[in-house]
Amino acid sequence: MTISGKAKLAGVMGWPVGHSRSPRLHGFWLEQYDIDGAYVPMAVRPEHLQAALRALPKLGFRGCNLTVPHKEAAIPLLDRIDDAARHIGAVNTVIVEADGTLTGRNTDAPGFIANLRQGAPGLTLDGATAMVIGAGGAARGIVAGLIEAGVVEIKLANRSPEKASAIAHGFEPYVVTVPWDERADRMDDLDLLVNTTSLGMTGQPPLDLPLDGLPRKAVVTDAVYAPLETDLLARARARGNPVVDGLGMLLHQAVPGFAAWFGVEPEVTEELRRHVLGA
Ligand code: ATR
């Protein structure tokens, strides 16, 4: 990889930003495709987000990713928001247009679906029934992706019912809320089960979700990717369910941004997975 005075520039804004795997991910592709470019972590305090975004064109940046806590806050600060970002209520990818204006996109939904299609090629999403656990920012992107892919019913279970109701309202009529205490009893017709909470992540308790009622053909996937095999995925695998880990969602959501900034549609490969995991 070379970085010349004409290098194409992008990065990720977060606060903190040290945990982000995006520099490692985009850095791998820059190297692989021998692109004159750089992708840098940018620690941006919430109160500086507007100034930092507006500085992008002045610094010659092609755009950036946004991570916690900027994904929702950026919406009113940009010039244009795509339909997905507006519906999900969060931006993860910012593009600097030729005239210096800023467009916000959300690529979580297609990233989630691309990972699922790659990891569970036997699953037909069109006409499927899914259960989604959790109702935070990750859940919104995943619900949007599932509906876009043709899922006809999404059972949404969240510890706090009002957050589940808010998502159900935003995605009528596809989402039905399931009381938290009934989540394990409403699985008999599922084709897909998704954990979108942070439970199961290293340092967090595991997701409390008995799988006895889940059909063995149902695919189980987890937005958590550290560890790669969460307690949920290990239990699902042990009883014979197909499982898809969450790392691919991170990798696939990065593809449209890289393509827009650096001009190459990058591939998600096993080598990339190993590289990002090695961080
Ligand atoms: P993100 O935006 O990354 O999805 P978030 O908005 O903090 O993160 O959402 C975290 C999700 O994990 C929420 O659905 C949260 O449930 P609540 O809405 O009830 O807070 C869920 N969650 C976190 N800890 C939990 C726990 N101990 N038991 C059940 N759900 C939990």
Question: pTM for the complete prediction?
Answer: 0.91
Q: Tokens 């510890």 correspond to what residue?
A: 159
pLDDT of 41 reads: 98
6 part of the active site? no
Alpha carbons 253 and 255: distance in angstroms, whole number: 6
Q: How many A from CA of 26 to the centre of ligand 1?
A: 28
pLDDT along the chain (279 residues), means of 10: 86 95 97 97 98 98 96 97 94 97 96 96 98 94 96 98 96 97 98 97 96 98 94 98 96 97 97 90
pLDDT of residue 279: 58
198 lines ligand 1 (CB under 6 A): yes
Residue nearest to atom 8 of ligand 1 (CA): 136
Strand order in the sheet with 61-66: 37-43, 8-14, 61-66, 93-96, 102-105, 80-81
pLDDT value of position 137: 87
pLDDT at 278: 87
Give the closest residue (by CA) to ligand 1 atom 14.
134
Are 49 and 73 a contacting pair, CB within 8 Å?
A: yes
